[in-house]
Amino acid sequence: MFEFLLDPRYYPDILQGLSLTIEITLFGVALGLLLGTLLAIGDIYGGKLVRGAIAVYVEFFRGSPLFVQLFIAVYTVPAILNMRIDHYVLAFLVFGLNSAGYQKGYIKGAMQTIFDDQMAAGLSVGMSKLQTLRYVIMPQAYRIVIPSWTNEFCSLTKSTSVLSFVGLLDLVGAGRTIIFGTMEVLPVWFIIGLIYLVWITGFSKLMDIIYEKKKIPGVELAMQS
């Protein structure tokens, strides 16, 4: 049943699949963080038009399946731009844009728990709004958001299984290849599932450690109140 584990021919597929899953997830969460922060700030400061546009953006990325978004990107964007774009790059962008839709909510929520008093305090010492965001609001908001990032990371990691639909070899794609070669179905998925589990558990533990290390007395109190 599990003889394929001893067959070195399949190792490169598994390794390549795992590294694609990890890369797309980490890049996606990072791009999502950057865009999510901009969206959160735009939602707080923007006028009606900006806030409306952000709402449409968020509803699109949260309300439609990731694999539909990926298909749209892969089959329309290169045609519209009339250029060849690597599926890998498109997948990274889609994951980032998708994650931004979720992260905007987490970041804005965290900012709002501390915003009024900390902004007033920042302005009162002569800092600009931008300086106060940079040195006071965001450092606290990001700390509060760490547990939500862990969730976001878990969910994106598992979502990478859609990558095989557009011809990218992620872990699920690797599993398919092995099944094709061995005709073992359940054992292969079992092992693939186990790899996800180990990686996600390990990374979540790492995030917990970072959260504890970065925790500032009083900052998480603000989240509860």
Partner 1 sequence: MTEYVMEAKNVYKSYCIKGEEKEESKLVEAVKDVSLQIRKGDIKLIFGPSGSGKSTFLRCMAMLDIPDKGEIYLGGECLTAKGVDLNRARARIGFVFQHIYLFRHLTALGNVELALRQVLKLPKAEARKRAMDALAEVKITECASKYPSQMSGGQAQRVGIARAIARNPDIILLDEPTSALDPELTGEVIDTLRDLAKEGTTMLIVSHEMPFAKEVAEEMIFYDEGHIVETGPPSLFFNAPNTDRAKQFMTRIINRTTRE
Among 8, 47, 63, 218, binds partner 1 (CB under 8 A): 218
Q: Which stretch binds partner 1 (CB under 8 A): 67-75, 99-107, 111-119, 199-207?
A: 111-119
Q: Which stretch binds partner 1 (CB under 8 A): 7-15, 83-91, 147-155, 215-223?
A: 215-223
- Maximum alpha-carbon separation in the chain: 69
Among 14, 110, 136, 162, binds partner 1 (CB under 8 A): 136
Provide the mask over 57-96, with x wherever binding to partner 1 is found by CB under 8 A and - wherever it is not. ----------------------------------------
Q: Which is nearer to partner 1, 9 or 129 (by Cβ)?
A: 129
Long-range contacts: 154-157, Cβ < 8 Å, 24+?
154/200, 154/204, 156/24, 156/25, 156/28, 156/29, 156/95, 156/99, 157/21, 157/22, 157/25, 157/196, 157/199, 157/200, 157/203
Give the separation between CA 192 and CA 171, rounded to whole angstroms.
Answer: 7
CB–CB of 203/153 below 8 Å? yes
The size of the interface with partner 1 (CB under 8 A), counted in residues, is 24
Q: Which stretch binds partner 1 (CB under 8 A): 151-159, 173-181, 198-206, 212-220?
A: 212-220
Query: Residue 113 interacts with partner 1 (CB under 8 A)?
Result: no
Q: How far is the CB of 103 from partner 1 (least distance, A)?
A: 20
Q: Which is nearer to partner 1, 19 or 128 (by Cβ)?
A: 128
Q: How far is the CB of 211 from partner 1 (least distance, A)?
A: 14
Give the separation between CA 1 and CA 119, rounded to whole angstroms.
Answer: 61
Among 131, 185, 198, 208, binds partner 1 (CB under 8 A): 131
Among 15, 72, 89, 121, binds partner 1 (CB under 8 A): 121
Q: How far is the CB of 218 from partner 1 (least distance, A)?
A: 3
Residues that bind partner 1 (CB under 8 A): 114, 117-118, 120-128, 131, 135-136, 139-140, 143, 216-219, 221-222
